[in-house]
Amino acid sequence: PVPVVLDCDPGHDDAIAIMLAAADPAIDLLAITTVAGNQTLERTTLNARRVCTVAGITGVPIAAGCARPLVQPLLVAGDVHGDSGLDGPRFPEPTVDVVPEHAVDLIHRVLAEHPEPVTLVPTGPLTNVALLLTRHPDSARHISEIVLMGGSVGRGNRTPAAEFNMYVDPEAAGVVLDSGLPVTMCGLDVTHQALATPDVLDRLGRLDTRLSRVCVELMTYFASAYRRLWGFAAPPLHDPVAVARVIDPGIVRCVEANVVVELHGQYTRGATVVDLHRHMDRPVNARVAVELDVERFWDRVVAAVAVLGRR
């Protein structure tokens, strides 16, 4: 299995990403770290503990990281994920706790101690990862790849140009893209193919476990937010796409390109400028996801929820 650290801001789709990373046999989940994004750090961290508790994920250290972006104030997504960051289901009191260590220090330690290079999977703003690379440059040689959810070739979802994770901390995204490490960017172009349709909810519902019911409630809430805000018929389950790319690279087809994050545009701050056609004379610094094998993706997600539900 691929050793992975998942850095997230749960978040409905982050919650499913945690389950997929913890349950799929192709991943060895070494740590879960949290960052402020969809909600405040306090709430995303509580939510990570809630998800691990309800899904029976034990023995994976959880640590809280940065409470605000590198430069600008925090902007949360309460309109999409609710006041708690994980509105919808009622969660049991968490029995899984955080370790008393900053996420960046935990990741640094886990990377140094693990015998093989580790894949980082960030599914929130890139603040923790940027801070890790800045504060602990020696970490880079222990990272095999960064497979992130964020950005897009085309449209944005928080502004016309910018995707949420990039928009919340564009400076951090710039640090990651400039790091020289292999980066795979799973952006909206591909995550908008991962729609949690009624058919998907039906498959989950038929598992008929406490966890599958929680997942259906999560996606039902997420669906209502996407319908209300943007008229989506079904909500895109962004974050598990990055996890699926690690599990089975064939699930997500990528192209190589230069990607820069716009930092100064009056209307385009946080946009990822993806040079698919090599207009700019800049080196390739990312693999950019362009196509999802939708069937295989949902098969892995449903299988993960089934495995955890039996625990």
Active site residues: 238
The secondary structure of the chain, three-state, reads: CEEEEEEECCCHHHHHHHHHHHHCCCEEEEEEEECCCCCCHHHHHHHHHHHHHHHCCCCCCEEECCCCCCCCCCCCCHHHHCCCCCCCCCCCCCCCCCCCCCHHHHHHHHHHHCCCCEEEEECCCCHHHHHHHHHCHHHHHHEEEEEEECCCCCCCCCCCCCCHHHHHCHHHHHHHHCCCCCEEEECHHHHCCCECCHHHHHHHHCCCCHHHHHHHHHHHHHHHHHHHHHCCCCCECCCHHHHHHHHCHHHEEEEEEEEEECCCCCCCCCCEEEECCCCCCCCCCEEEEEEECHHHHHHHHHHHHHHHHCC
**123 part of the interface to Ca ion, by CB under 5 A:** yes
Query: Which of the stretches 9-17, 48-56, 95-103, 252-260 binds ligand BDR when contact is defined by CB under 6 A?
Result: 9-17
Which partner from the list Ca ion, ligand BDR, none does 163 bind, CB cut-off 5 to 8 Å by kind? Answer: ligand BDR
Is residue 35 within 8 A of residue 7, CB to CB? The reply is yes
Contact pattern for ligand BDR over residues 107 through 136, marking x by CB under 6 A: ----------------xx------------
Residues 159-178 that bind ligand BDR (CB under 6 A): 163-165
- Yes or no: say if 121 and 6 are a contact pair by the CB < 8 Å rule: yes
Residue 207 vs 289, nearer CB to Ca ion: 289
Stretch that binds Ca ion, among 42-50, 96-104, 118-126, 229-237 (CB under 5 A): 118-126
- d(CA 177, CA 185) in angstroms, rounded, equals 9
Which residues in 231-290 contact ligand BDR (CB under 6 A)?
Answer: 238-239
Size of the site for ligand BDR (CB under 6 A): 15
- Is 13 among the residues that bind ligand BDR (CB under 6 A)? yes
The two three-digit tokens of residue 102, written as one number: 């900053």
Q: Taking CA 124 as the corner, what is the angle to CA 192 and CA 172, rounded to the nearest 5 degrees?
A: 115
Q: Which of 5, 7, 14, 252 binds ligand BDR (CB under 6 A)?
A: 14
Q: How far is the CB of 192 from Ca ion (least distance, A)?
A: 15
Q: Which span (157-165, 212-220, 261-269, 270-278) binds ligand BDR, by CB under 6 A?
A: 157-165
Please choose which of Ca ion, ligand BDR, none residue 275 contacts, taking the beta carbon within 5 to 8 angstroms, the exact cut-off set by kind: none
Q: Is 157 in the site for ligand BDR (CB under 6 A)?
A: yes
Number of residues that bind Ca ion (CB under 5 A): 6
11 touching ligand BDR, by CB under 6 A: yes
Is residue 223 a contact residue for ligand BDR (CB under 6 A)? no
Please tell me whether residue 214 binds ligand BDR under the rule CB under 6 A. no
Sign of CA dihedral 35, 39, 41, 46: negative
Minimal distance, residue 10 CB to Ca ion, in Å: 7
* Of residues 126 and 204, the one with the C-beta less far from ligand BDR: 126
Question: Cis before residue 154, ω within 30 degrees of 0?
Answer: no
Indicate the residue among 77 and 106 with the shorter CB distance to Ca ion. Answer: 77
Binding site for ligand BDR (CB under 6 A): 11, 13-14, 38, 77, 80, 123-124, 149, 157, 163-165, 238-239
Binding site for Ca ion (CB under 5 A): 9, 11, 14, 123-124, 239
